[in-house]
Amino acid sequence: MGALMREDAMVPEAEFRSYYGQPVIKAPVWHEPHMPVYLYLGGLSGAASVMAALAGLTGRDRLALTARVTAAVGATIGAGFLTAELGRPERFLNMLRVFKPTSPMSMGSWILTAHSGLTTIAAASAVAAALPAATSKITTTLPAASAITALLPAAGDAAVLATAVTGSLMATYTAVLLADTAVPAWHEAHRELPFLFAGSALASAGAAGMLATPRVEAGPARAVAALGAVMETTAGAVMERRLGLVGEPYQLGRAGRLMRAARVLTAGGGLLATVAGRSRTLTALSGLALTAGSLCVRFGALEAGRLSAADPKYTVVPQRQRLEAGKPASVPAQP
């Protein structure tokens, strides 16, 4: 905290001109809790699917089951939040009208579609394997389903390997989604945001693994949670240090409170994960702290973006400095 206040004092008061103090750019219209919760669930689902793949490859069936179910549930509920966020939810399928590499949201829609489909197959096969009695009941009452259940284990294993790819993208594309805007606090953070979100995703998936797996099998989940906490904390610190004036919104007001809470919760949760061992209380505390920290980062990032857009200072001052340094932006028109 002390260090933070010192940093604040070191940022010189920026003088600039504006139109009656009005914003130059529009603030993001995305709502709470939809957008930040989607960011959290997408990250959770993405990292959990990678965890499921590795748990499967190393023969940790119980952790694999947890991770597969977490990945599927996260992706499905996340997609629900994303659809509810649309101004015209009934047109959500228009997202798949085009495949557009210049739009991170288009790429994200395709990634989410593939990822949620694959994680659902992976989770279905894992659940079927874990509940053989129920599965056999279905196949006896519905003989046609037996062909599907016979295929499920192989399909599930293939799907979970594929989700390792879609999952790692799921957990990081949302950083590009935010960065690819005119919002200075997001755009200028395009180096650190992916690592912030990847770390946050790792921490949240590790937390889910710790909370919903027998402790003896949750060892890797604890390690994932701790590493994720380290990555998230480091990326956040580097980001605020490098951005200077543009990064100020991450330290101010509600956004600042959320980001500081995230840092405390994540660092604390990560530390606890390393010492939790077989203690149920410590495991639960650590898992909950990491989950809360991961949520706080997403809410904080959205709020910082809003703040960054609402104050013309963050738009005008860096652009003015660029001009006065004789380095105007240039993206020439194609001849």
Partner 1 sequence: MAERMGFFTDTSICIGCKACEVACKEWNDVPDDGFVFRATSYDNTGSLGANTWRHVAFIEQQRPVRQAGGQSQGQAGSQDQSQEQAGHGQVSSQGQGQDQSQEQAGQGQAGQVSGQGQGQADGPGPDSIERWLMSSDVCKHCTHAACLDVCPTGALFRTEFGTVVVQEDICNGCGYCVPACPYGVIDRRERDGRAWKCTMCYDRQLGGLEPACAKACPTDSIQFGPLDELRLRAEERVERLHEEGRPEARLYGASPDDGVGGDGAFFLLLDEPEVYGLPPDPVVTTRDLPTMWRWAGGAAVSLVGAMAVSFVAESIVEKVTGRAGARGSHRGSVREALRTIDRGQSGHGAVVREALKMVDRGRTGTRGSHRGWGR
Site for partner 1 in 140-159 (CB under 8 A): 153
Residues 18-47 that bind partner 1 (CB under 8 A): 18-30, 46-47
Q: What residue type is 139 in one-letter code?
A: T
Cα dihedral: 188, 191, 192, 196 (round 10): 120
Interface with partner 1 (CB under 8 A), residue from 133, 141, 144, 281: 133
Least distance from C-beta 327 to partner 1, angstroms? 9
Least separation in angstroms between residue 1's CB and partner 1 is 27
236 binds partner 1, rule: CB under 8 A: no
Interface region with partner 1, contact rule CB under 8 A, candidates 118-126, 239-247, 255-263, 312-320: 312-320
Stretch that binds partner 1, among 69-77, 126-134, 249-257, 260-268 (CB under 8 A): 126-134
Cα gap 139→133, rounded to integer Å = 10
When asked if residue 244 is in the footprint of partner 1 (CB under 8 A), the reply is no
DSSP structural state of residue 328: -
Pick one of 7, 33, 54, 113: the residue that binds partner 1 (CB under 8 A): 54
Closer Cβ to partner 1, 4 or 66, answer by number? 66
Q: How far is CA 273 from the centre of its chain?
A: 20
3-state per-residue secondary structure call for 176-221: HHHHCCCCHHHHCCCCCHHHHHHHHHHHHHHHHHHHHCCHHHCHHH
CA–CA separation, 305 vs 178, rounded Å? Answer: 9
216 binds partner 1 (CB under 8 A): yes
Nearer to partner 1, 5 or 96 (CB): 96
Residue 308 contacts by C-beta under 8 Å, 6 or more apart in sequence? 183, 184, 185, 186, 246, 249, 314
Compare residues 4 and 28 and give the one whose CB is closer to partner 1. 28
Residue 213 region by backbone torsions, left for phi larger than 0, else alpha for psi between -120 and 50, else beta: beta
For residues 83-102, which are near partner 1 according to CB under 8 A? 85-89, 91-92, 94-95, 97-98, 100, 102
Q: Which residues have a Cβ under 8 Å from the Cβ of 266 and sit 6 or more positions away?
A: 200, 203, 229, 232, 233, 289, 290, 293, 294, 297
Is the CB of 230 or the CB of 264 nearer to partner 1?
A: 230
Residue with tokens 């920026």: 14
Candidate list 36, 78, 156, 228; residue touching partner 1; CB under 8 A: 228
b/e map 5-17, b = 16+ CB within 10 Å = eeeeeeeeeeeee
Which of 33, 113, 155, 191 contacts partner 1 by CB under 8 A? 191
Site map 259..298 versus partner 1, x via CB under 8 A: -------------------x-x------------------
Q: Is 317 in the site for partner 1 (CB under 8 A)?
A: yes
Under rule CB under 8 A, residue 135 binds partner 1: yes
Q: Using the minimum distance from each CB to partner 1, give the nearer residue, 257 or 320.
A: 320
Angle CA 126–131–132, to nearest 5 = 105
First to last CA, the chain: 53
**Interface residue with partner 1, options 37, 51, 121, 272 (CB under 8 A):** 51
Query: Judged by CB under 8 A, does residue 50 bind partner 1?
Result: yes
Question: How many residues does this entry show for the chain?
Answer: 335
Peptide bond into 33 cis (omega under 30): yes
**Is residue 198 involved in binding partner 1 (CB under 8 A)?**
yes
CB of 216 to partner 1, least distance (A): 5
